[in-house]
Structure 1
Amino acid sequence: MAAGNHSTVKEFILAGLSEQPALQLPLFLLFLGIYSVTVVGNLGMIILIGLSSHLHTPMYYFLGSLSFIDLCQSTVIIPKMLVNFVAEQNIISYPECMTQLYFFLVFAISECYMLGAMAYDRYVAICNPLLYSVSMSHQVCVSLVLGVYIISVICASTHTGCLFRVYFCHLDVINHYFCDLISILNLSCSSTYVNESLILILSGINILTPSLAILSSYTFIIGSILRIRSTEGRIKAFSTCSSHISAVAVFFGSAAFMYLQPSSLNSMDQGKVSSVFYTIIVPMLNPLIYSLRNKDVHIAMKKIREKANYLSAQIM
């Protein structure tokens, strides 16, 4: 066992989203559909951005990175969740649980900072358009994305590493649909003061830092938009940010509700519902809200369809 003498628990049982038998099949079909839409939407966005040369801009570079993060986060969570709906007991081994937790933390933290990077990109584009090509050069974009992953890997490694010092006894049922950090700590029969303090500190940093960056960016963006004289210009400028604001509100709101309150006040049943938003719903919605009202994406999709039709005609 990976934990050595630190625990007598070799495996956990995931309680799942609901324990009512009548809901298992409907929930399975619902989340299978959500996962299908998530995979098609995010993978399609990545491929579309890669194939369309006019989408090779900083904005879509970050959007492609966000789609990759959403795709990976959903894949870490949902397949195992679907098993829980059809299996009598959803058993997950200790190493598998720690692995799922680690990658969930990596991609969840990455999403926080990627949304911050996207807000900075919109700030430069609207407030300093003449310096956009310099301020958001390819090297800057790559550095920002690398920074996002470096921070997320360090934080995820810190949380997971500190979890190995926690003792688990015979309470092996995780009251959640995946191996979430708080749910695992609730099973501990040793002191979790260090772990809980780490959650509050790092979650505060990882939520508040990008949130402040986003808030600052949009403060300047709103100021610039209000200085635009034409109504059409204001609407056009604001439309480039509205989708991002929606994604930020849902993701950070649900994440803050889950992680920025003391464990004594945290209801896991409420936490399950809250975590559904930022682990499952947000990854599904992001490619939709960033593409449905985006003219550049519509043009790219039209060109891809035309090329596909042309190739089909040539083959036939």
Structure 2
Amino acid sequence: MNSKKEKPILYPVSVAPMMDWTDKHFRFFLRLISKYSLLYTEMVTTGAILRGDKDRHLLFSPEEAPLSLQLGGDNPNALAECASIGEGYGYSEINLNVGCPSDKVQEGNFGACLMKDPDRVADCISAMDSKTSLPVTVKCRIGVPGKESIEDLSEFVRKVSLAGAKRITVHARIAILEGLSPAQNRSVPPLRYEDVYEIKRKYPDLVIELNGGVKTLEDISSHLTKVDGIMIGRAAYENPFLFSNVDRLFYQASPRMITRREVFDTMQEYVSKKTEQGEKPSRILKHLLGAFHEVRGARSYRRILTEKMHSNPGPKLLLEALESISPEYMDQRLETEESLSLTALESVV
């Protein structure tokens, strides 16, 4: 461990860790669109790291940074060891999952069920913080049944922040631990944004990030008047070009002169390279299905990929599918997306 603890970096916009979605292939693709948004790994359990193939779970390409390693577990010592290992692999920060409601995660006594035991979470954070110089962060829900009041959330935030959590990301729904699937838990419990705003008002010096139901640049801008950061989940996967303007609007970056065609030329090269290395093309191409959100030709594009990517696709399948999208759209610069809203947004951010 380095002797000097790194200060947390403020990330106005991040992409949520999502199992089976935010793997290295999707992260490579999204990095072509946004250079500065914080990305996350899929959740990796401590057992997978300590008893499995570390390189398979932890290696990533430099292009993916800044990248947070999300860990799942409830044993402070195991989490601390994994945090130290993660630092050695070059991650930007270490995040603890206290929000996943799946049955499998509950069987391991981690994820959202840990919100019942904030002292345990605090012990985990403290142990991790002691073994790495990287910022240690937490992603949680606003609560679970029996621990769902604003007072419960406030006490949870107080304890984990005192233990060393440098940023607390709050999904603004409670997690229903019985009777709902993970997918239903992302939509059925009502959003309670005001609870997250209240936590920021109560702890103005803490870095508080909001997650849940954010789908547009206007949503991001509005929430950022009340919290420090916004985490985008499904919208990032279903409409990745939403991030075309994020760097300029929320990171004050200079406009990039890149077109959609150039993004997909790079992805074609990436698919070819990874296929030669033995990767199944479908594992990459599935992440590109949502690339053209509500664009003419998108249905045909998705149909071609869906029908062919699992059955010995040719090396140019992606290019074949892209023929369904108009050349004019492909040759537009990325940052023309949602141009009608940009002037209004820039007056806010």
TM-score over 0.5 (shorter chain):
no
- Greater percentage in helix: 1
Q: Greater CA radius of gyration, 1 or 2?
A: 1
Which one has more relative contact order, counting CA pairs under 8 Å at least 6 apart? 1
TM superposition score normalised by structure 1:
0.25
TM superposition score normalised by structure 2:
0.23
- Greater percentage in strand: 2
